A and B are shown apart, each in its own frame.
Chain A
Amino acid sequence: MVLDIIITSLINGSTYALLAIGFSLIFGVARIVNIAHTAFYMVAAYCIYFVTYNMGYHPIVGMLIAVPLVTLLGMVTYRIFIAPIREHEAAVLIGTIALAIALQEVMLLIFSGDYRSVPALMQGFFTIFDRKIFYQQLITLIAALVILGALRLLLMQTKLGLAIRSTAQDREVANLMGMNESRVALYTVGISIALAGFTGAVIVPLTIVEPFMWLHPLIMMMAVVVLGGLGSIKGSFFAAYILGFAEAAVVFLIPMGAFLKGSVALSIMILVLLIRPEGLFGIAFEEER
């Protein structure tokens, strides 16, 4: 039981962390609340399903195709639909909602609403303390952590990472320092959507693929972002594991827990907000000057 909870919470936590960091990045740099973020995660999952079943390749090939494809799709839709209306906050909001619904409906048209699944990369399991742990769970966890590490390297060690961080801090001054603000925003959208794609890729062997699979992660991702503090990557990271653990504990410990998992995790978020309105690691940053 304890081991089940730990494994599930680590995997869920890593997924939420990946999604939430991508969401934070776009919000920080471009001030876009991207509701369609998890919709891209769903598209990536379907891409992998398509490559695996309809074209007959190994799932890993699907993952290699899906991530660039989804990134490209994200950047193109950003360019066409979101960039022209970026100044209007409310319009961006429903623009991304409409985008998410459109993606969901396209997937519903192509693949129908049936539940589908993708085979594990590596079959089999090993046991610790009489508990089965599938190799796939381990692969997913390690892959998620590797991607998180790579992202940290990108943000901290490269010039692009510096540009992203400085634009997130102050858009106007970054522009004055010679960073092409709209290009940085485009790259950030690319990185963020790629993260969503990666998340879809690493989690797809463990979940059911269906057109509505983006809704629950969307809510949890937003809760993580708020709990950790908007724009704080460290905050998103810790908050993701806290909420992932709360969810897993509720599912395993309480009867009818599967219904209540969202409620309990979100209640924790609200309780923390009552004490610290700016989130766990957020800085109480000044609203736009």
Chain B
Amino acid sequence: MDLIRFYVRKLITVIKGEILVLPSRMVVAVFFLILLGLPMITQDPYFLRILILTSIFAIFAASWDLLSGFTGQMNFGHALFFGVGAYGAAMLNLHFHLPPWGSIPLGALASVLAGLIIGIPCLRLRGTYLALTTLAFPIILMGIVFAVPEITGGELGISGIDRLVRSRVAQYYITVVVMVVLVVVMWKITDSNIGIIFHAIREDEVAVRASGINTTRYKLMAFCLSGFFAGIAGGLYAHFMRIAGPSTLEVSMSFQVVIWAVFGGVVTIWGPVGAVFILFPLLEFFRFWPELRMLLFAIVILLILLFMPQGLLPWIRDKIENECPRCKIRNVATRKTCRICDASMH
């Protein structure tokens, strides 16, 4: 009994000392709580469907940030990983009758392989060259998909895949929990030693190599990790929509993920996730004017970029929080002195 009381008290202290002190952490905590509790309020299938797709794309956008934001390897063909994951899961499910919990991870492994295959030639390129070259890979695969319709279903794609689970609410919980877990894993990766090396490669690759680190290995690792997460997103998408079509490989899909990630702020992981949760439902909201939908979307992005070019969420965060000039700990903007070292904030 005492032990339980100890842990409860510890939990309260952690919440009080670590979460309630910063508005951004409060927002994240409230956001996750709402996300997990939502089906208790409404079970509207259309509403849940939007949120399921949003969660899937949130994984996808965060995986782009892991590769292109952190490691600086601008990938314009991220749809390749998504498409390989979706097609892989779909084919494994349809031809080998694997259930979703087997086909999605195996499909993601196929994406890892794709990451290796495109990573090896792309390692010799950097910057804009890399961005423009990676654009080519999903299009090459799409040509192959169209050329062998017996296996891939051609233009119609592979349909008749198993559902994730029967009920909509269970589907919602599975995707949301997978999203939360994967995003936390990605965030932890970027916080670890590997993440620091990724970040260093982005800033100055020569310096990293000079410190005795095999940058080639780490860049390949970034491609594979990012491919794995994007592949899981693709597999979930295939099993949720019950179809894996060429639309998963389209150029617009690759562009979409870049828009989400840059809009939310790169090199953060939480930025792209937040951006998807803002932009994707917003796009659904614009459905009331179907003809103007994409136009309004594009204009919103152009206007927001004009005023906050480093991304929406980091901009908001900088407005409500300040960094202590002495100990570099973040504080609420309303505080006059730092909460840790008591130095003046100005």
Contact = CB atoms under 8 A, between A and B. Distances in A.
Interface residues of B, number: 41
Interface in B115-168: 121, 124-129, 131-133, 135-137, 139-144, 146-147
A279 B146 CA distance: 29
A105 B262 contact: no
A235 B139 CA distance: 23
A87 B309 CA distance: 9
Interface string A235-264: 000000000000000000000100111111
A195 interface: no
A222 B135 contact: yes
Contacts of B298: 98-99, 101-102, 105
Contact of A91 (B137, B144, B297, B305): B305
Most buried by A among B142, B143, B146, B297: B143
A261 to B, nearest CB: 8
Contact of B297 (A95, A101, A287): A101
B136 A223 contact: yes
Contact of A27 (B128, B142, B310): B128
A270 B306 contact: no
B336 to A, nearest CB: 32
B135 A260 contact: no
A287 B203 CA distance: 13
Given A259-B143, A287-B126, A101 B135 contact: no
B123 to A, nearest CB: 9
A266 B140 contact: yes
Interface stretch (B90-98, B231-239, B287-295): B287-295
Most buried by A among B137, B258, B309: B309
B345 interface: no
B143 to A, nearest CB: 3
Contacts of B266: 90
B28 interface: no
B243 interface: no
Contacts of A273: 121, 124-125, 129, 133
B169 to A, nearest CB: 35
Nearest to B125: A277
Contact of A259 (B146, B291, B294, B306): B146
Contacts of B137: 266
Report the contact-size class of chain A (Cβ under 8 Å from the partner).
35 or more
Contacts of B305: 81, 85, 91, 94-95, 98
Contact of A93 (B251, B258, B291): B258
Contact of A270 (B121, B131, B141): B121
Interface string A207-242: 000000001001100110110001000000000000
Contacts of B133: 226, 269-270, 273
Interface in B248-279: 251, 255, 258-259, 262-263, 266
Contact of B302 (A102, A219, A274, A278): A102
Contacts of B263: 94
B299 A102 contact: yes
A147 B144 CA distance: 36
Contacts of B121: 270, 273-274
Contact of A219 (B126, B135, B258, B291): B135
A109 B292 contact: yes
Interface of A: 27, 33, 35, 81, 84-85, 87-88, 90-91, 93-95, 97-99, 101-102, 104-106, 108-109, 215, 218-219, 222-223, 225-226, 230, 256, 259-264, 266-267, 269-270, 273-274, 277-279, 287
6 contacts: A81-B306, A91-B305, A105-B292, A260-B143, A263-B139, A269-B136
